[in-house]
Structure 1
Amino acid sequence: MSTKGGVAARVYALCEPLAEELGLAVWDVQYQKEGSEWVLRIYIDKEGGVGIDDCVAMSHALDPVLDREDPVPQEYVLEVSSPGLNRKLTRPEHFEAYMDEPVRVRLIRPLEEGTRELEGLLIGYEDGKLELQLDEETGVTLEKKELAWVCALDDIDL
């Protein structure tokens, strides 16, 4: 088992070539404890959307690689799915792909006036700083460390 990077980073590296062979892209990999179980969640994507057959194919391709490489230190549940319509943006390339698109941001701590969620156009992301245009007159810059999550809002016109 490799010791460089966390479990999610190691599994992401294992997933990328497999996904490419299947005509898919890896959107994200999460490894977290949920209740008493560890869950390894692989989010895949492709032009036109992901179906159940894509998830099954990725799971079947990944199982023997995970068994051979053993990147996960304990028992876990493997889930392969689509990131969904309101997908969470977690990597720099996600923010780049959704530039000038509507997003929803959830803050770890509320702003002074008590607001904890914001919606606006993503107009910048650099060096861990996210810029949102909330309306025609109001913009805000937030540090990544202030964010609980950011998700795309593909179905909203701001």
Structure 2
Amino acid sequence: MIELLQPVVTGLGYELVGIEWAADTRGQRILRVYIDVEGGVTVDDCEQVSQQISALLDVEDPIPGHYVLEVSSPGVDRPLFTLDHYRRFRGEEARVLLARPQDGQRRFRGVIEGVEDDRIRLKTRQGTVSLPFDEIEKARLVPDYQAIMKGQRR
């Protein structure tokens, strides 16, 4: 799906941060597409990208069944999809959920120390852990609301 959407999003001048599937309370499938641009994403940006992606998906029809398309900014609790995201946000706090437990634990919270090969180094309260990137089910930055209130942006 990334390969299909990437040219459209970058062609419009935006970064394709990532995509994820979700479901609402009624079980409706939602395709979430996260975009970003220097200076931040506006509602008009999301609308423009949504129209272009929707047209592409209507033509290509890669998704069977009914779904809802959502295009949005990554937000203050930005999802982390790629190794480059972990490199970019080194020094920031993140929450990470693994697909399978590592040492009996699936949920981790700590400061991103870096990336080595295909592993993420995270400094937690218990010490530094090395998490295999391909085992990460979901990860998001933890918002620093004090910095946000002071007008400092990520």
TM-score by length of structure 2 reads 0.75
Structure with higher strand content: 2
Aligned twin of 1:118: 109
1:116-157, Cα deviation, whole Å (9 max, x unpaired): 44222x12224442212237x932223346645322235279
What secondary structure, in the 3-state scheme, does the structure 1 residue paired with 2:75 have? coil
1:129 partnered with 2:119: yes
Rounded Cα–Cα distance in structure 2 between residues aligned with 1:148 and 1:15: 21
Q: Which runs of 5+ in 2 are unaligned?
A: 147-154
Q: CA deviation at 1:24?
A: 0.9
Q: Is the 8 A contact 1:24 1:44 kept in 2?
A: yes
Q: CA deviation at 1:65?
A: 0.9
Aligned twin of 1:40: 31
Rounded Cα–Cα distance in structure 2 between residues aligned with 1:118 and 1:48: 28
Q: Which runs of 5+ in 1 are unaligned?
A: 1-9
| Percentage of pairs with the same residue | 33
Rounded Cα–Cα distance in structure 2 between residues aligned with 1:152 and 1:143: 18
| The one of 74, 79, 83 aligned to 1:88 | 79
Rounded Cα–Cα distance in structure 2 between residues aligned with 1:155 and 1:17: 32
| The one of 117, 138, 148 aligned to 1:149 | 138
Q: CA deviation at 1:31?
A: 2.7
Distance 1:14 1:145, change over 3 A: closer
Aligned twin of 2:15: 25
Rounded Cα–Cα distance in structure 2 between residues aligned with 1:139 and 1:149: 19
Aligned twin of 1:73: 64
Q: Root-mean-square deviation (CA), in Å?
A: 2.9
Q: CA deviation at 1:60?
A: 1.1
